[in-house]
Every structure is written in structure tokens, then in C-alpha cells.
Amino acid sequence: MRRLFFPLLFLGLAGSVAGGAARTGAPAPPIAQHHLSASQARQIALLVARHDHIDLSDTHIEFNSMDLSNDFIPGYSSFIVIRESSTPGPDETLRRYAVNRLTGDVWEMTLCTHYDFPELHRMLKAFAVRSGETAGAVAAQSRELGCTEQKTAPTL
């Protein structure tokens, strides 16, 4: 009987504290928002690169983070895709992706292109991130990235 008394007493006290907060109008504790990890953001950017028909198995293609000691763009994970030159001369930048760590929205920074396709939505859902922010929020992200006009990538 003693074994049941203390757990039941604890549950009763916890319930009365929670009930008291509800009765007094005290605010509920905030629900934590999920932020993408660096690894998840990288997986998303790799998916988008494949969506852009970039052959990441090509030995002359490099996919790297642009976030060295600090975020390249605050609140975003940034990646660059480069084709190394096989002859003397400059390498070619193919894409520069920015992944919003809160919403999962993906942008190509140079082209000011916002990505929206089914495989991306499935990955974001698997990572428990809500995409599909309002048009105003997407426009605000566009401005954060320095884009004056926003494009949407075609769904292939």
C-alpha cells in the first residue's frame, strides 16, 4: 500500500499545480520549435541539388558548407556546389543554397529561387519541420537573402 501512496500523492500534487495554473490564467509553457540540425540541412540541400539535376557522383563536383566559423547568413545553413575546372582556370559555381533552419525553406541565393516540390515536403515532414510558410513569410525570407524578386523553381 505504501508503494502506491507516494506515486499517487505526487500525481495528485502535479495535477493540482497544473490545474491551478489553468484556473489562474497563467500562461502555458511555450512549445519548443524544432530547428534543423546541420546534418538535416545538408541532406535537404543535397536533395535540392539532385532536383536541379546536378550529378553529385561526378568527381569534379564539390558540395561544401559555406558556414565556416559563423553562419554565412544568420538563421540559414548555406552550401555551395562547385564544378572544379579540369583545365587551368577558375572553377564554376553551379549553385549556392540557403536552408532556413526553422522552416526548412530552401533558396538558391544567386538566382533568388525558392524550392517547392513533393520530395522536399516529404523530407521536411520526416524531420518534423513545417514548411509552406505564408506568402508574406516567404517574401520576407527573400528580402533577408537580398533578393529583389523571387522565383519558384519548377516542379519536375
- Kindly report the CATH number assigned to the domain that includes residue 51: 3.10.450.170
Ordered DSSP codes for 131-156: ----HHHHHHHHHHTT-SS-EEPPP-
pLDDT of the residue at 111 = 93
Task: Determine, yes or no, domain membership for 126.
Answer: yes
Task: Determine, yes or no, domain membership for 72.
Answer: yes
pLDDT of the residue at 17 = 43
Q: How many domains is the chain partitioned into structurally? A: 1
- Provide the residue type at 138 as one letter: V
pLDDT of the residue at 120 = 94
Please compute Rg for the chain using Cα positions: 23
pLDDT of the residue at 153 = 67
Task: Determine, yes or no, domain membership for 30.
Answer: no
- Name the pTM for this structure: 0.72
| CB-based contacts of 155, cutoff 8 Å, min separation 6 | 116, 117, 118
CA dihedral 37, 133, 139, 153 (to 10 degrees): 80
Task: Determine, yes or no, domain membership for 111.
Answer: yes
pLDDT tens for the chain, 156 residues: list them.
445 444 444 444 444 444 444 445 555 444 445 689 999 999 999 999 999 999 999 999 999 999 988 899 999 999 999 999 888 889 999 999 999 999 899 999 999 999 999 999 999 999 887 655 667 778 888 888 888 776 666 665
136: containing domain = 38-152
Task: Determine, yes or no, domain membership for 29.
Answer: no
